[in-house]
Structure 1
Amino acid sequence: MRAKRIGTGAALTAGALAVAGLAFAPGAMAVTPGSATITADCGTFGGGAATLTATQSGTSATLTLSSTAITTPLALSANSIKSTLTMTKAGGGTSVFSGTVNPAMAAGSAVTVGPLPGTVAAGDSLDMYGGSLKMVIFGITVTCTATANQSPGPFVFD
């Protein structure tokens, strides 16, 4: 009887450890790469290197763009930039990520917009080159475009 209790206790302990291991295991990354760099041209508003960061959960995805080369001329409050990020799809078409999400930024600060939500399908391959980022700030539209393909490559969604 005692051996049976020890065996049952060992099995319960092993099961609990397995469940705990799953709970603390890192989640699989659904989009690759997780981040990419571009060189953005924002016309008279400047431009330079920018980083795009992507996340995915099922068919929902977010993109964030940040750049120390692109700066804000005025202080901006949180969630005050209306942004529309249009990405080109391999094989044709576009995917749009939009919203009014940004941190508060002091005058002269690096620009960050996002995470901007959008919808993706399994196998979507998205690149900023050929697309654009439109930001409406105090009623003024600033449009930025990538001057080449993003590096290390397009975002590919599971």
Structure 2
Amino acid sequence: MRRSKLGIGLVTTTAALATGALALAPTAIAVEPTTATVSADCGSYGSGEATLVATQDGTSATITVTSSAVTAPIAVPAGTVDSTLTLTLNGSGTTTFTGNDNPAMAAGDDVTTGPLSGTVAAGDVLEVESLEFTALGLITVNCTATSPQSPGPFEF
């Protein structure tokens, strides 16, 4: 009988500790939405829709931009587009995501840039203002958002 009570006590204590550990475990951090669209005007290079895909890992975040607003005028090798994405931070002020990580693009392909890297804090709300990118160090394109993000801003 004593062995049975000891076993039940041990099981109960182990279960309580496991439950406590789960309650104290950090929650997963995620950005919502993970995909958004925005209309953009890129001046003489065109206008159209851009799709943004966001990811988050703690305070680090990335955003990849693909847009039919601008197509590659010539073949563009991977890693040759320097980009700066400017976003409104929490309704006032701005933050930037930067990078030069792009896939190879054939002439006529929709432009893709990213993932562009930035830093976020819990509760940050970001919405696209503009994107500037320079391909091959020769062609600089400035795009300005002409519509709000849909379905809404990124919330970290």
Query: How does the TM-score come out when normalised to structure 1?
Result: 0.78
Match of residue 15 from structure 1: none
Q: Which runs of 5+ in 1 are unaligned?
A: 1-10, 12-26
- Would you say the 8 A contact 2:70–2:110 is kept in 1? yes
Per-residue Cα deviation, 1:32-74 (whole angstroms, up to 9, x for no partner): 0001000111000002011011000000000000023421111
**SS where residue 62 of structure 1 aligns?**
strand
Match of residue 133 from structure 1: 131
Larger Rg: 2
> Aligned partners of 1:79 and 1:144: how far apart in 2?
20
> Aligned partners of 1:36 and 1:29: how far apart in 2?
18
1:50/1:91 Cα in 2 relative to 1: closer, same or farther (>3 Å)?
A: closer
Match of residue 152 from structure 1: 151
Q: Which runs of 5+ in 2 are unaligned?
A: 1-10, 12-26
CA offset at residue 137 of structure 1? 1.6
**SS where residue 44 of structure 2 aligns?**
helix
- Would you say the 8 A contact 1:37–1:50 is kept in 2? yes
- Which sits farther off after the overlay, 54-63 or 90-99? 90-99
State the Cα RMSD in Å.
2.2
- Would you say the 8 A contact 2:80–2:102 is kept in 1? yes
Say how many residue pairs are matched. 135
Match of residue 117 from structure 2: 117
> Aligned partners of 1:28 and 1:151: how far apart in 2?
24
CA offset at residue 92 of structure 1? 1.0
CA offset at residue 29 of structure 1? 5.9
> Aligned partners of 1:28 and 1:122: how far apart in 2?
11
Work out the percentage of aligned pairs sharing the same amino acid. Answer: 58
Per-residue Cα deviation, 1:104-151 (whole angstroms, up to 9, x for no partner): 0000001110001110111110001xx210001232221011101100
**SS where residue 44 of structure 1 aligns?**
helix
- Listed as ranges, the matches of 1:47-86 within 5 Å are 47-86=47-86
- Listed as ranges, the matches of 1:2-81 within 5 Å are 28=28, 30-81=30-81
Query: How does the TM-score come out when normalised to structure 2?
Result: 0.79
> Aligned partners of 1:147 and 1:155: how far apart in 2?
17
> Aligned partners of 1:91 and 1:110: how far apart in 2?
30
